[in-house]
Each structure stands twice: as C-alpha cells, then as structure tokens.
Structure 1
C-alpha cells in the first residue's frame, strides 16, 4: 500500500510521464480497482460520457461489470476523447493492440522513489515488497475498507466473485487495527 505522500509522488510522476496517458491509466486503476488487463482492453465505445461509467465486458472472472468514474477521471477521458470504438490505450505501432506501458510505469515509479524491486534484509528475507501495477487494485480495496465500506460492496466494485478473494486484497494499516481493537474494548466496557 502506498502512503498518501507516495501516492501523490506517483501521481505527479505519471503526469510528467513521456507517455501522455499514464496518468489517466493510473488514475482509473486507483479509483475503480479495475485490473490492468481490463483497463487496457477498454474501448472508447465502452465509455458512457453522460453517465460517467465504463463497461467491462470481458473480465477475469467471466462476468461483466460497470465502472463508475469520478469527475477527475471524466475530465482526463474528455481530454483524449476519440470518436469510434478504438482502444483508449492503444499501442502507437499497433493501434488494435494495447500499449505496452511497462517502461513508462517503471520510470514513474523511479521518479516517485517507489521501488519496483523487492528490498531484502541481510538474511535474504523480504523487507519491503516491490510495488506493481496490481498493487493499485489492493490499494483500492484497502481504501474502501478503511473508509468503512462493507466487504460485499468492495467485492462487487472489485469484480470479485467471493468475499474471501476480497479479504486477501484488504491490507489494514497499524492505525486501523489499533482503532478496531480500541472500539472492541469500548464495546466490552473495558
């Protein structure tokens, strides 16, 4: 999970990226929890500009779902809006295929001082796990949990078929855990 400071650094690095749509892609991932493949396969015809939604017809679990875009995402989508049904994130060389944005992503992580490699302790154990694009999905689920949203709501927004899957995506911070324990102690009148 990213701290607020790390998230802001990443957003700024994406805005400054040589690939002009990296900010839009990362923003969409952060606020929708959509998988990388789902976002990369989005077509302009999947976006409903009147309703501020996107339609995912081919998801990992085989079901379709609707994404809801906040105004900041809609503003970015409108900047790049194209008529037709082409990909939102096409490759420059092969417009019918999604952009390979790995280099732009790595450069943004480097600029934001976020590691894309595991940081190891002296004994070889992992001290800090690398940050991948998929971590944005974990961050989405965790942020919703921290905001007090119910697990079934989070599962539905993330496109999970089971709550058990969603539970693996939720990473509660130390402060949230402390708050839960304190609330429990209060409930028990301790």
Structure 2
C-alpha cells in the first residue's frame, strides 16, 4: 500500500517549501520511496509502481535515480575501461572529458533523449567533428548498457538510441601537391626526414611510427609487427624494398625505439618543417592519406590487401579511395588483365 507524507521545511534562502514523500510497500518487494514537489505527481508515481508490482514487471529505479553520470563514469572507468580494454588510455580520457560537462551532474534516470540532444548541440557549437561526437555517444551508450546489464539498473533506457546522431565526416582529403614532397624533405631535420619517408611508404599512423621498436622489425622477413594500434587490433605490415632501405639506414639506439621520437615530437617536427617550407595546411596525418592513395594508384593490390597494410577499420573507410582506380577498371572492362 502507498503512503504519502507531507514535509514542510525552510530552504537555504529561508523560504518555506513543501515536499511529498511517497512510499510503496508490497509483499515480496523492498519498500520503494521517492520525493516530489507536487502531491499529484507523488500519487501518480505510487499508483504506477503499485501497478507494476501487481503485474510482476516492477524493476527498482532507486539506484538509477540515485546515481549521477559522474559517479557512473568513475565506476565505468574502474570496472570496465581499465579491466576490459587492452588500451584504456584513450577511452579513459574521453570518459573524463564527458565527466567534466554539465550533463554528468544529472542522475542516470534523468538523462533522456532531450539531454543527449542538448549535449550534441553543445559539442557542435564548439566546432567538434561529427566523428568525435559519435565516439562520445558510443561511450555513453556502452556505459548505459553496462549499467543495465551488469549493475542491476534494468529500468534505465539507453538515451543515445533515441536521438539522431551527427553524420560521420568524410575526413581530410589533403594530398601532396607537385613539389611539396621535395620541399618537405628539403627542410626536414635529419632525424625527421626518415620519418616522413617511412610514413609515405607504409601509410602508418603517427603513434604507430612513434611506438615502433626494433624488436618489432623483421628485415629478413620484410615485415613489421604492430601490437598496439588505434583500432586495438594487431597487424603485420609488409615492407617494400624502399621501406627496408629506410630502416637499414637508421642507427640503433639503446632505447630500442626505431625512430627515437614520441608522437608529440613528430607533430612538433612536422609543424616546424611545414612552416619553414612555407606549405599550407599540411599535417602529418595527411601523409597517411597520401600513402594510401598511392597504394591504390601505383599498385595492383586489391582493397582487402591495402586494408591489411593501412589498418583501416572497415572496407567502407577505404571506399573514398576507389575513384583512384576508375581508369584501371575501364581498362579491364576493355579486356586488359589485372
């Protein structure tokens, strides 16, 4: 049976306020209570809870209504990200960034599609890309699913499934124009030049190049092994003759690092070199796009083989390179062999 108490008190400003505490007791269930500003809301809530208990479909909302997103993120980092992900740093950083926002102050049960939509608009106003927002939403979606399945908050609705997500961006398409590679290499410092050449030859990411150790290099087998990648997937990259020559020309240092540069140092060298060479809007990641484009243009490797080299997560991500082979497809339609 439901019981409702009227509670009168003075708020922090000394003004009189009223709250209504509704409590429902049913045999076989723990007592459930909730406080409301209006008695009508308390009555309706109590009737709904009693009806669910009578039908045998009641699921306690108490934990979801008493846990903020901040608290849930802390628990998610500790119990899920840090224990189940092979490379937790990036997801931890993303979770903590969301944790610093106003939405994290809300109780989980209070977060609906409206609040998620407001979060998306807030991010868009900041100029964040659609891809980044989608990654934020993916983390929130996973958190809500973990809360429902593993934390006993079955009453939760995953609010990220109720909103229209921003479109995934097409990504940068900046390629090296005529003479830019020569200018870049001419102005590059001696220790940075082989990094540029290797990136153009292998399509490797900045972090992958920075993290490459000599123990991962098999010159005899013409390959390198990457145990840590952006997609959390191991991969082995075949080395072209030119890539092998670049590696053979490098000195060995005591740290075991192939290039002896961190990811941030690579970015710093790239920015200084681009500025000195007077190039416009060229980033290190553009070298990966250039290298992948060249694999499509200058080799007969099929898309799956290129995917194995570049480490793109899906075939769809490589679809934007397909136009680079339109002329070869036309030649094969005319009878030319692969």
* TM-score strictly above 0.5: yes
Q: Does structure 2 retain, via aligned residues, the 8 Å contact 1:87–1:98? A: no
Find out whether 1:166 has 2:311 as its counterpart.
no
Partner of 1:47: 217
Shift of residue 89, structure 1, vs aligned partner: 2.8
Partner of 1:65: 235
Give the secondary structure class of the aligned counterpart of 1:100.
Answer: helix
Partner of 1:8: 182
Aligned ranges 1:1-190 → 2 under 5 Å? 1-14=175-188, 17=189, 20-82=190-252, 86-90=256-260, 100-115=265-280, 130-147=281-298, 149-168=301-320, 170=321, 179=327, 183=330
Q: Number of residue pairs matched? A: 158
What value does the CA root-mean-square deviation take over the aligned residues?
Answer: 2.8
Counterpart CA distance in 2 for 1:180 and 1:65 is: 29
Counterpart CA distance in 2 for 1:110 and 1:141 is: 24
Q: Deviations over 1:109-150 (max 9, x none)?
A: 1233322xxxxxxxxxxxxxx221111111112112223543
Q: Does structure 2 retain, via aligned residues, the 8 Å contact 1:38–1:59? A: yes
Partner of 1:124: none
Shift of residue 53, structure 1, vs aligned partner: 1.9
Counterpart CA distance in 2 for 1:48 and 1:149 is: 22
Counterpart CA distance in 2 for 1:52 and 1:81 is: 18
Counterpart CA distance in 2 for 1:83 and 1:104 is: 20
Counterpart CA distance in 1 for 2:313 and 2:202 is: 16
TM-score in terms of structure 2 length: 0.41
Shift of residue 46, structure 1, vs aligned partner: 0.9
Q: Which runs of 4+ in 1 moved over 4 A?
A: none
